[in-house]
Amino acid sequence: MPKGTPQSEDCLTLEVTTPARPGKGRPVMVWVPGGGFITGTGSIYDPARLIRAGDIVVVTVNYRLGVFGFFAHPELGEASNFGLQDQVAALRWVRANIAAFGGDPGKVTLAGASAGAMSTCTLMTSPAARGLFHRAIIQSGSCRTSHPAGAMGEGMPAISSWHPIDAIRGAGQALAGQLDCADVACLRRKSAEELLPYTAQFPLLAYGTSFVPQEPAKVFAAGKQMAIPLLQGNARDEHVEFTLGLYPQGITTRQYPTMLKTAFASAAPQVERRYPARRFTSPTAAASRVFSDSGWICPSWKSGREHARKASTYAYVFADPSAPTPSGSPLPAHVRPATAHGAETFYLFDFPDGPGLSAAQRRLADRLVGYWARFVRTGDPNGAGSTRWPRLDAADRALKLAPDTVRPINMNSAYHCGLWF
């Protein structure tokens, strides 16, 4: 977390933003911020444009992060996922209180990006969240998001955010050892400042508990998640900034096949045939595209296809090649054109000191806001005057969102999803 970023253990707050005109029975969107489960805050998201477009109420929430939000230990039994439990507490608060702000507790959409997206899909599988929300928006993440060996850095193993509770208890025991603590009582005597340096060790969601009984991806595969309308999608090049940050010297033509072998073992030659480095501006761009499709876009496609058997599902790929980046740094030429992780968020919300958008990007932002607001209102993003957004079904149709074109595409063929699943 950057130095100077406001931080507090007293973080369980939410903000309610309503239209200026009094009213009642308005649909509600509850926004869960991202940040890898170790950073982030709801207070930086200004939802005014969404509110004006849809005449809706927006609630942005905070939840405990890192070691404070996702710690587990054998002495604590199945207690874990405290950050997710905070989100459920916020949803319960909304159910009990949102009518006082003009909202309808029976028309709640849970939405989030990145870690917020993974939180949302996880809560779609949680018995504790049943009945607390009625639609979902999942941006730049899914319950199948994972990364093969090497995708998150040289020498790094395959990574997933979901782990059996016993594995996270083991991580909790290891932390206790690092802090010379023999038991949880000792850990509780540590100050928040003493625990904070270890927060990055716990971007870990537990399953195998009464709160999340089963790995969420398996729940979607079995069709046991909530049967609610779903809007979900990704930026075109989700992994580009991760690749640049984790491989700052760039990936060479010689390194590229070795990286694929590390990530995909015997399937590496097939992957390289689909993603030959010569077709990209650089091997780094090729690797970014491989990890974007395999770890982000196609897992969303797979979960979306599974959910489409139960309820209406709308998929998108956000593909503005000049979109702002979450890091705030322009993408270097050797990976352009590309659209970074979570870029669509800048088109839906305003931010303090946020990036400016061009006239064409503002027009695209208006289209996104319209689609999202209509989905919150009705469970269907379509409306008069907008390009028709087809449901995700056996035809694998998603909506490509770019300044020069908003049109349906075939996700499977465009992103080689048949290769990955």
The tens digit of pLDDT for each residue in 156-190 reads 999 999 999 999 999 999 999 999 999 999 999 99
Average model confidence (pLDDT) across the chain: 96
Average pLDDT over residues 6-21: 91
Average pLDDT over residues 261-265: 98
The C-alpha atoms of residue 181 and residue 121 are separated, in whole angstroms, by 35
In the predicted model, is pLDDT for residue 20 greater than 80? yes
Per-residue b or e along 273-308, where b marks 16 or more CB atoms closer than 10 Å to that residue's CB: eebebeebebbbbbbbbbbbbbbbbbbbbbbbbbbb
Average pLDDT over residues 101-116: 99
Bridge partners of 235, per DSSP, are 318
Q: What confidence score (pLDDT) does residue 8 get?
A: 81
Distances (CA, A) of 400 to 29, 39, 45, 69, 198: 23, 30, 24, 35, 40
Question: Confidence band (pLDDT; 50, 70, 90) for 4?
Answer: low
Average pLDDT over residues 207-219: 98
Closest to 351 (Cα-Cα) out of 96, 133, 117, 113: 113
In the predicted model, is pLDDT for residue 2 greater than 60? no
Q: What confidence score (pLDDT) does residue 5 get?
A: 59
Residues of the chain above pLDDT 90, percent: 95
Q: What confidence score (pLDDT) does residue 353 get?
A: 83
Q: What is the 3-state secondary structure (H, E, C) of 139-183?
A: ECCCCCCEECCCCCCCCCCCEECEEEHHHHHHHHHHHHHHCCCCC
Average pLDDT over residues 44-56: 97
Q: What confidence score (pLDDT) does residue 10 get?
A: 85
Question: Confidence band (pLDDT; 50, 70, 90) for 3?
Answer: very low
Average pLDDT over residues 393-403: 95
- Superfamily name with CATH number, domain 14-420: Alpha/Beta hydrolase fold, catalytic domain (3.40.50.1820)
Q: What confidence score (pLDDT) does residue 1 get?
A: 43
